[in-house]
Amino acid sequence: AAAFDRQDIDMALLNFPDPPARLASIPVLKDRYVGIARRGHPAFKGKTLTAAAYAALPHLLFSPRGDPHGFVDELLTRVTGRKRRVAMTIPHVLAVPAIIARTDLVSIISERIARLYATALDLILFEPPIKLPDFTISMLTNAARASDPSLQWLQEQVMMVCKSIGNTGDRLRFPHGGA
């Protein structure tokens, strides 16, 4: 929100459930979290991934601020009493699939991003062993600039792109723990 206040940015697309009132928020996409691993990862050779096995794997954590733990860690600990082993933390979500494709790390990312890279990078998608919440990507702008014609034009362009992408409302089925 501070970047909007400083006028460093005009718009952001992100998962921000409760933005301050000074920001206008328009939901544009729904998504959910899935696990990703490289095809051929030893943890997925015909096995069902238990919470214990999942927690023991080396994890890549996407954290824009560099926090060593994320919401998955909190949920995993609360639901199973286990802690996952975060081996690497990076601030850029689009780097996650490329790193996963070349290592034995696993990660949790947006299903949309995972599917975008799955074929090209030979990744498998899997259901995490705990229920993770779905989320909404919203378009955020400074509410005080709502009548700015250039910002309105940009919002319309973003809305058209998001409508063309559509929503992933249906749950995917992953055979044998991977897809």
Query: What are the Cα distances from residue 15, in Å, to 149, 152, 178?
Result: 25, 21, 26
Query: What are the Cα distances from residue 73, in Å, to 41, 78, 140, 150, 169?
Result: 22, 8, 27, 41, 25
- Paired sense of beta strands 85-90 and 58-62, if any: parallel
Q: Quote the pTM value.
A: 0.82
Residues of the chain with pLDDT under 70: 167-179
